Structure 1
């Protein structure tokens, strides 16, 4: 059986249009992905390895890796601690 090429973005958009529950969950997950992506960028910008970040936060390197691979979503407390160690803070800002 030959491989079938799938346009993932198009398939996700179809599901978002046809399934309100999927749309809601997908859209909410984007915020988590974006925040974790920003945290990864900040860690790299500060030249801190996963191992160093783990040591500074009392976590394991494996935990940091799972968070960065989006296999584990940290609590707000844990995420805030990661940001604090990197020298940043989490703020809530009203959408425009």
Structure 2
């Protein structure tokens, strides 16, 4: 009987930790947009609308999230969302 009780407690503790971590990752998707006036954004020349033909966040390898969404997470700006039509100096063409 103690083996079952121990297993239950371990699974319960794991579930609580999993829900906590899951809550943190869900909050990341509710992040705010990158402010072009932010010092890091300024240093990387980030803009919400790219002026460079064929270069925007949507076709950058650093952009994360689901294709087609207007605002998505970027590896360069943790916890922030960038405009898929935006651009910054860290832009690197997505393969393919």
Instruction: Tell me the TM-score normalised to structure 2 length.
Output: 0.33
- Greater strand share, 1 or 2? 2
> Which structure has more helix as a fraction of its residues?
1
Please identify the structure whose Cα radius of gyration is greater: 2
Structure with bigger RCO (C-alpha 8 Å, 6+ apart): 2
TM-score by length of 1: 0.33
